[in-house]
Structure 1
Amino acid sequence: MSNDLKISKKKPTYPISEKLDAYLFKYRRNIDLPILYSDLLRFQGSIVVYDKNDVDTLWVRVFYNEFEREEIDSSLKQVYSSLISDGGTWILKYLNVDAIDFCTFGNSKPFRIKVRNILNDNFTHFYVKTADASRVYGLELEQMLSPYQINFLVCKDTLIEEHIAGIPGDEFIKNMLPDCSPSEKAQIAKEFVKFNERCLIRLLGDMRSYNYVIVPTHDFDHVVFKIRAIDFDQQSFEGNLKIYRPQFFKENFKMVELVRQKIQHESIDQYKVEERSIVAKRMLSYHTRLNALLDCMEADEISLPKHIERLKEDIYNYTMDLNFRKSKNMGEILKNALDFVRRNYEDVSLKRF
């Protein structure tokens, strides 16, 4: 494992192209919103948000002047209705905006909105971010190629994302993994192998432990653990292939050690093949939509020339597939990567006949 992976400290924000905007409109991801990211930046003050152990969360709770707060709250409740429900106004009287938090850590500098149902005190969160093309491509690919549904909306330069529930990976590894049973640890190791393969296939980078969550689900007499990405900023941007493989980050060292302890090499290969097959089947299910998205990516600029040159060489050396060397941009590299997985799946399927 390498401990010196270097990720670009400041990834450029790539605007939503006209072609991508048309794609988002076709698939109902594009919507007129009553409030934009820039509107939320007009806060008047803030205080630090601490967790239950009095540790700085790197979020601050922001405040607005009384003349703006009422309008902001009303607009955010309307955004919530559009994201979660049918966009109607009937639900607004049952909602309250309890908190607006801002995070200066990372590329997206998001706002986190806490919305509470006043009838039963249930609450949920959603995020308001700058609309970056890389992030939008990552979200759409997550919808199509992962086992999970994801909900987001785009309006001009603003991105609205639903909250993805789960235990942050770094917290789970530190506080919960040591107490897991041997069988649970084996199941988590298997899931990490599959998650690692899924990130590589769709070129989702920077899956350090704080960029994914662990989702436990009770099933009869045991708990099933799943790993789910929550950060899509590094979709098809970096040039180093290792950045698209979570196993190479020092933050995931304990997960990699778990795989070594619990999973035999033959089983690792089996789980990789299983994940490739599942992704290939999803590609067939989303054939038209996926091709439309890849067409947008091929026409778009979402990385730097030096990253493109390095990545296509890295993947060529990994697969020995000449198509990667012919790739002109990140969209073509990803398309060739998905085609490589699909061809291998179809070849194996044909041999079974």
Structure 2
Amino acid sequence: MSEEPIMVFKKPTYPINNSLLDYLERFDRISKVAISYDDLLRFSGSVTVYDKQNQDTLWIRVYYNEYERMEIDLVLKKIYSLLLSDGNLNIIKFLNVDSIDYCTFGNSKPFRIKVRNILNDNYTHFYVKKADASRVYGLELEHILSPDKINFLVYNDTLIEEHIIGIPGDVFINKLLKDCTETEKSQIAKEFVKFNERSMIRLLGDMRAYNYVIVPSHDFDQVVYKIRPIDFDQQCYEGNFKVYRPQFFKENYPMVKLVKDKLQNSSIEQYKDEERAVLAKRIFSAEYRIKKLLQIMGNDVIAPVEHIEQLKLEMFNYTHDVNFKRAKSMGNVLSSAFDFVTRNYKSINIFK
């Protein structure tokens, strides 16, 4: 276990270029409802949001003057309908915007919107953020390569994301992990190995405990745990290869210790191979979409040149694959990573 990788500078926001906008239009990711992150910033007041233990959540509940609130509520209800149903505006009369919260912590500073169905009191959250190319690439890759699909929409410089349900990783580690059975701990260790491998291959960085969730599911007489990322700001940005490997963050040390305590090296290697095989299959099954996305990423600027140079050399040293040395962009580095995984998968399965 090493020290947490250092990310010294705050990541800048990268604009969404025309090629990426065309891609988003092709796959129905463009919002038909006009919405602006900057409009939500014009709140007239706020109060601190506390959790059940009366701890500051670093979120504030914001308020608007009456005229603006009516207009904002209507837009947010339309966004809810577009994001989570078929865009049918007939449901709007059954919806209420219960709260609009603003996060004062983190890079994206999102707004969290709580929308409730007044007929049955069921509610859903979604987020409104500044659109950033890195974040959009991360969300799209999650949708394609993960077993869990994710909904998001873009309108000009604004991004709308659905809420990903789960227990925040840091909360689970600090409060719930100790009460898991030994069998459950072994299963969680297995999932962390796979999550670590998946994050590394797809170059999703900064997966500290508060940037992913643990999702428990009941299956007959056991609880099965999955790990899902919820923050995609650091997709293909950092030059330090360790940033893309959750095992190197000090916040994840309890999970790393769990892996060491519960799994033998042969099992760890087996689970890594399994995850690479699953990723390779998903890449093959969505070959056109992946190829198109990587082509756009390859021509986009989403990281400083020095980060690209550092990462491609570190990945070459890790894989000994010369293709990484030829990379000219972060998109090229990611393409080389996918090629490495699929090429090795083909060589293993060539006689099957």
Task: Say yes or no: TM over 0.5.
Answer: yes
Aligned to 1:52: 52
Q: What amino acid sits opposite 1:93 in the alignment?
A: K
1:254 deviation in Å?
Answer: 0.3
1:214 equivalent to 2:214? Answer yes
Q: What amino acid sits opposite 2:97 in the alignment?
A: V
Aligned residues: 352
Contact 1:43–1:64, Cα closer than 8 Å, also in 2? yes
Aligned to 2:190: 190
* Alpha-carbon separation, structure 2, partners of 1:61 and 1:296: 38
* Alpha-carbon separation, structure 2, partners of 1:128 and 1:73: 13
1:88 deviation in Å?
Answer: 1.6
Render the CA deviation track for 1:306-346: whole Å, top value 9, x for unaligned: 10010000000000011101100100000000000000000
Aligned to 1:242: 242
The equivalences for 1:219-238 within 5 A come to 219-238=219-238
1:341 equivalent to 2:341? Answer yes
Aligned to 2:252: 252
Aligned to 2:159: 159
Residue aligned with 2:349, SS:
helix
Contact 1:34–1:78, Cα closer than 8 Å, also in 2? no
The equivalences for 1:93-242 within 5 A come to 93-242=93-242
* Alpha-carbon separation, structure 1, partners of 2:278 and 2:170: 27
Contact 1:197–1:275, Cα closer than 8 Å, also in 2? yes
* Alpha-carbon separation, structure 2, partners of 1:3 and 1:171: 21
Q: What amino acid sits opposite 1:44 in the alignment?
A: S
Aligned to 2:72: 72
Contact 1:215–1:226, Cα closer than 8 Å, also in 2? yes
Residue aligned with 2:115, SS:
strand
* Alpha-carbon separation, structure 1, partners of 2:33 and 2:9: 31
Aligned to 2:90: 90
1:347 deviation in Å?
Answer: 0.5
Contact 2:239–2:310, Cα closer than 8 Å, also in 1? yes
Q: What amino acid sits opposite 2:173 in the alignment?
A: I
Q: Which runs of 5+ in 1 are unaligned?
A: none
* Alpha-carbon separation, structure 1, partners of 2:184 and 2:306: 42
Residue aligned with 1:91, SS:
helix
Q: What amino acid sits opposite 1:226 in the alignment?
A: K
* Alpha-carbon separation, structure 2, partners of 1:279 and 1:310: 25
Contact 1:125–1:163, Cα closer than 8 Å, also in 2? yes
* Alpha-carbon separation, structure 1, partners of 2:176 and 2:201: 29
Render the CA deviation track for 1:70-95: whole Å, top value 9, x for unaligned: 11111100000000011121010110
Aligned to 1:21: 21
Render the CA deviation track for 1:85-115: whole Å, top value 9, x for unaligned: 1112101011000000001211111000000
1:266 equivalent to 2:269? Answer no
* Alpha-carbon separation, structure 2, partners of 1:183 and 1:283: 32
Contact 2:34–2:155, Cα closer than 8 Å, also in 1? no
* Alpha-carbon separation, structure 2, partners of 1:212 and 1:232: 10
Alignment TM-score, normalising by the size of structure 2: 0.99
Residue aligned with 2:153, SS:
strand
1:42 equivalent to 2:47? Answer no
Q: Which runs of 5+ in 2 are unaligned?
A: none
The equivalences for 1:308-319 within 5 A come to 308-319=308-319
Residue aligned with 1:175, SS:
helix
Aligned to 2:61: 61
* Alpha-carbon separation, structure 2, partners of 1:46 and 1:31: 28
Contact 2:78–2:89, Cα closer than 8 Å, also in 1? yes
1:32 deviation in Å?
Answer: 2.8
1:146 deviation in Å?
Answer: 1.3
Task: Name the Cα RMSD after superposition.
Answer: 0.7
Contact 2:102–2:112, Cα closer than 8 Å, also in 1? yes
Identical-pair percentage: 63
Render the CA deviation track for 1:235-287: whole Å, top value 9, x for unaligned: 00000101000000000000000000000000000000000000000001110
Render the CA deviation track for 1:50-83: whole Å, top value 9, x for unaligned: 0000100000000000111111111100000000
Render the CA deviation track for 1:208-256: whole Å, top value 9, x for unaligned: 0000000000000000000000000000000010100000000000000
1:145 deviation in Å?
Answer: 1.0
* Alpha-carbon separation, structure 2, partners of 1:222 and 1:40: 44
Residue aligned with 1:52, SS:
coil
Q: What amino acid sits opposite 1:82 in the alignment?
A: L
Choose 7-16 or 221-230, whichever is displaced more: 7-16
The equivalences for 1:289-304 within 5 A come to 289-304=289-304
Contact 1:300–1:331, Cα closer than 8 Å, also in 2? yes
Choose 34-43 or 157-166, whichever is displaced more: 34-43
